[in-house]
Amino acid sequence: MDNGNGNAIAIESRPPRVRAHAALSRRGFMAAMSGAGVGLLAAPGIVRAQAAWPTRAMRIVVPFAAGGGTDILARILAQEVGERLGQPMVADNRAGASGNIAMEHVARSAPDGYTVLMGTNGGTAANRHLFRAMPIDPVRDLEPVSLTFRSPHVLVVRNGLAARTVQDLVALARSQPGKLTYGHAGVGSMTHLAAALFTTKTNTDILAVSYRGGGLALTDLIAGNVDMLFDGFPSSVPNIREGRVRALAMCGTERSALFPEVPTMQQAGVPGYDAGTWQAVFGPRGMPRVAIERLVAACRAAAASPGYRERVVRAGAEATATSPEELAQILQRESDTWGEVIRAANISPT
């Protein structure tokens, strides 16, 4: 037999054992090719399945009880993202342990993109400095997807409190050390850290009362069971409008267009005070790239939509979006910043 290069190949001259081996090799080769064929046929199906993501409903896990600022914004985002991706996204409230329960649940979920977290800077950035035995490390075990909202906090007080300004409140607190109370959404939450920053800067002693979410703390404030709350702005907006609570100061560096008469904390006499919050989408480590990219694209499209932006503004926040890499950098900066506040205020879980 000629191999095409003028060289003869005498197959029949091989010893019988070699011929048998060659036959086995051919059979093995054909079997291998058959298996490879199955793989090659299956591969397009896998690719198509990934390319079609999402093919079913998604969950966004909210680390606080329903009714708080993060919950309100998560539901706005879920509706918009679900519509843009063609599958429903539902909010799943898993409150407790300052957000650790929700973060652990997401970190240990299947990394398929169908379970994501509505993370906050309080939980993802601050908890690392609060809990020595956290079940997960948010920086290591969560996949950054996109920043979604920024919003200030607002200092609101119960209607019966004898303080009309921040300076009135400071004077009242100093005259009654340990008697006034503030509610917060859990140790290390931004409602807690914003209050801790206030007491540190004003040299006041105000008793902290912890709740399983900002919504519960706000309910007790309206009922008059606590004196004040450094609340996420979105959840306080309707209550300020309806006169159920009184706003004394915005906790960021700018006044709100919704309540321009409310001064910033610095304008109200607390130099250097700045406390805001952000919410962002995170997933379990190892999420498919297609899921990350499509979630980012949906967040970017939402943030560019005038109708969506208006809904978010009415809720008291600013819509935004970032790349996963930008969110990772923001997370690290916030972790460093609030770590310093936690150490200065000597905050630790009880």
**Structural domains present in the chain:** 58-151+277-345 (3.40.190.150), 152-250 (3.40.190.10)
Predicted TM-score (pTM) of the model is 0.73
**Phi, psi (5° rounding) for residue 284?**
-70, 150
Task: Note down pLDDT in tens along the chain; length 350 residues.
Answer: 444 444 443 333 333 343 334 333 444 434 444 444 444 344 444 444 456 899 999 999 999 889 888 999 999 999 999 999 999 999 999 998 888 999 999 999 999 999 999 999 989 999 999 988 888 999 999 999 999 999 889 999 999 999 999 999 999 999 999 999 999 988 878 899 999 999 999 999 999 999 988 889 999 999 999 999 999 888 899 999 999 999 999 999 899 988 999 999 999 999 999 898 899 999 999 999 999 999 999 999 999 999 999 999 988 899 999 999 999 999 999 899 889 889 988 888 75
Whether omega for the bond prior to residue 54 falls within 30 degrees of 0, making it cis, is yes
Contact status, residue 188 vs residue 127, Cβ threshold 8 Å? yes
Task: Determine contact, residues 224/197, Cβ cutoff 8 Å.
Answer: no
| Residue 133 structure tokens | 């035995």
The contacts of residue 123 (CB under 8 Å, 6+ apart) are 63, 98, 99, 100, 102, 103, 138, 188, 189
* 132 to 197, 331, 345: CA distances (angstroms): 22, 19, 17
Per-residue model confidence (pLDDT) at position 212: 82
Q: Provide the pLDDT for residue 350.
A: 57
Counting beta carbons within 10 angstroms of the beta carbon of residue 230, is it exposed (0 to 12), middle (13 to 18) or buried (19 or more)? Answer: buried
The pLDDT assigned to 32 comes to 42
Instruction: Name the token pair of 345.
Output: 């205020």
**Residue 65: its pLDDT value, please?**
86
What confidence score (pLDDT) does residue 50 get?
A: 52
- C-alpha span between 106 and 119 (Å, rounded): 10
pLDDT given at position 24: 39
Q: In b/e form, how buried is each residue of 231-242, taking b as 16+ CB within 10 angstroms?
A: bbbbbbbebbee
- What pLDDT is recorded for position 18? 37
Instruction: Indicate the pairing of strand 228-232 with strand 142-157.
Output: antiparallel
**Per-residue pLDDT, 26:** 43
Q: How far apart are the first and last CA of the chain?
A: 86
Q: What pLDDT, on the 0 to 100 scale, is given for residue 12?
A: 38
Rounded to the nearest 5°, which phi and psi values hold at 245?
-140, 165
CA distance 114 to 291: 8
Residues 6+ apart with CB under 8 A from 266: 253, 272, 273, 274
